[in-house]
């Protein structure tokens, strides 16, 4: 499924766009988790899950509308499927428990917002729907309809999301524009957030080695990597060879390239990338994942981004923050005033 679709739906509900968070300056090309090159992070201890509730049980009643446990289960299953492989088996039950609680609140809020949509008599046009669809970048080869199906959503579900977004847009229509003075004040008070660490741009071709490979297999893999390295030294096209030979799915189709700061990659890979001479094909790098043919193409010193460099993004961020405050206040009041009966706990 398109994670972009899920993000857009969240945006529709909470008016949280791409600028809703302003991270510190990051590498231009984040390293995908599937690359296998990033440093591992420990998972928190999972809480003990409670006893499951029957699918036919009424978990909540919003005005006169019922929410069944099966409604929650359908969304949770979709979320678990979207995160397949990222949740360890011993954390699956706890993850389901935590997701269920969030999904219940989300379903309650959706029903409340749709009641408000009806009160406001919000109607959307085919052009509104077309524009909303264009805001969702889809994976190559996937149609919008397939994305909806992968999320167990109908065209009506999506239309409702667009209506909710229009409702929230109306609630924030009166938010004042961000002034240049606002920009400078925020920038001056938060300069640390605009510090960009030293980064390096490097590209590699990975020949993986199985964890329990014997000496012969390791030698064969190393010889294969060395042969590719020699082809590059003789003028071979790095991007073409990466696409043909690299076993890193996170980079092979983009020429094997990553841009990253210190502390993000496994140590041998990082050390070589930061120390190699620019544009030279370095010696083979061995990590727990196998052998890497590595070339460093650029080194970027640490710096603090100037206000002019971040002005557009910062203006969007501050505008989103102001709108978020209005929306959050509206949603809290809507929830507080609503007639909601929680009949089950999940």
CA distances from 157 to 12, 50, 85, 103, 153 (A): 12, 30, 27, 15, 6
Angle between helices 215-233 and 238-245 (to 10 degrees): 160
d(CA 299, CA 105): 47
- The CATH classification number of 3-36+52-179+311-342 equals 1.10.4030
Q: Is the pTM of this model over 0.95?
A: no
Q: Do 44 and 88 meet the contact criterion of CB atoms below 8 Å apart?
A: no
Fold topology of 198-301: Chitinase A; domain 3 (3.10.50)
d(CA 312, CA 129): 27
Give the chain's residues under pLDDT 70. Answer: 1-52, 344-346
pLDDT the model gives residue 87: 81
Measured on CA atoms in the order 134, 8, 312, 168, is the torsion positive or negative?
positive
Return the SS3 of 242. Answer: helix
Q: Parse the chain into domains and list their residue ranges.
A: 3-36+52-179+311-342, 198-301
Q: Could you report the per-residue pLDDT of 41-64, keeping only the tens digit for each? A: 333 344 444 566 788 889 889 888
Query: Can you read off the two tokens belonging to residue 291?
Result: 């052998």
In whole numbers, what is the pLDDT of the chain averaged over residues? 84
Q: Could you report the per-residue pLDDT of 278-333, keeping only the tens digit for each? A: 999 999 999 999 999 999 999 999 999 999 999 999 999 999 999 999 999 999 99
CA distances from 65 to 197, 333, 340 (A): 52, 20, 9
Identify the H or E element spanning 229. Answer: helix 215-233
pLDDT the model gives residue 44: 38
Q: Do 344 and 58 meet the contact criterion of CB atoms below 8 Å apart?
A: yes
d(CA 209, CA 206): 9
In DSSP notation, 244-287 reads HH---TTTGGGTTEEEEETTSB-HHHHHHHHHSPTTSB---EEE
Residue 274 half-sphere exposure, CB side, CA atoms within 13 Å?
15
Looking at the DSSP bridge assignments, the partners of residue 261 are 199
d(CA 268, CA 266): 6
């Amino acid at each position: 499924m398109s994670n972009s679709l899920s993000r857009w739906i969240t945006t529709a509900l909470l008016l949280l766009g791409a600028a809703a968070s302003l991270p510190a300056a990051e590498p231009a090309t984040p390293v995908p988790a599937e690359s296998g090159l990033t440093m591992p992070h420990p998972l928190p201890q999972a809480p003990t899950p409670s006893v499951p509730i029957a699918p036919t049980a009424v978990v909540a009643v919003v005005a006169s509308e019922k929410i069944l446990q099966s409604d929650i289960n359908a969304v949770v299953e979709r979320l678990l499927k979207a995160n397949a492989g990222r949740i360890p088996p011993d954390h699956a039950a706890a993850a389901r428990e935590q997701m269920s609680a969030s999904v219940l609140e989300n379903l309650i809020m959706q029903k409340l917002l749709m009641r408000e949509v009806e009160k406001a008599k919000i109607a959307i046009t085919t052009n509104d729907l077309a524009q909303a669809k264009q805001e969702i970048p889809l994976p190559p080869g996937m149609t919008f309809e397939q994305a909806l199906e992968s999320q167990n959503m109908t065209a009506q579900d999506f239309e409702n999301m667009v209506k909710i977004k229009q409702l929230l847009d109306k609630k924030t229509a009166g938010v004042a524009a961000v002034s240049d003075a606002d920009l400078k004040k925020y920038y001056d008070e938060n300069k640390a957030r605009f510090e960009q660490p030293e980064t390096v741009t490097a590209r590699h071709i990975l020949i993986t080695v199985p964890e329990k490979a014997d000496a012969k297999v390791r030698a064969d893999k190393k010889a294969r990597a060395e042969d590719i390295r020699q082809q590059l030294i003789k003028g071979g096209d790095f991007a073409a060879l990466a696409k043909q030979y690299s076993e890193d799915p996170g980079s092979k189709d983009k020429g094997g390239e990553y841009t990253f700061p210190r502390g993000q990659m496994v140590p041998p890979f990082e050390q070589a990338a930061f120390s190699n001479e620019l544009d030279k094909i370095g010696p083979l790098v061995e990590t727990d994942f196998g052998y890497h043919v590595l070339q460093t193409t650029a080194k970027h010193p640490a710096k603090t981004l100037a206000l002019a460099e971040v002005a557009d993004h910062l203006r969007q961020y501050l505008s989103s923050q102001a709108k978020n405050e209005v929306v959050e206040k509206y949603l809290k009041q809507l929830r507080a005033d609503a007639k909601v009966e929680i009949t089950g706990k999940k």
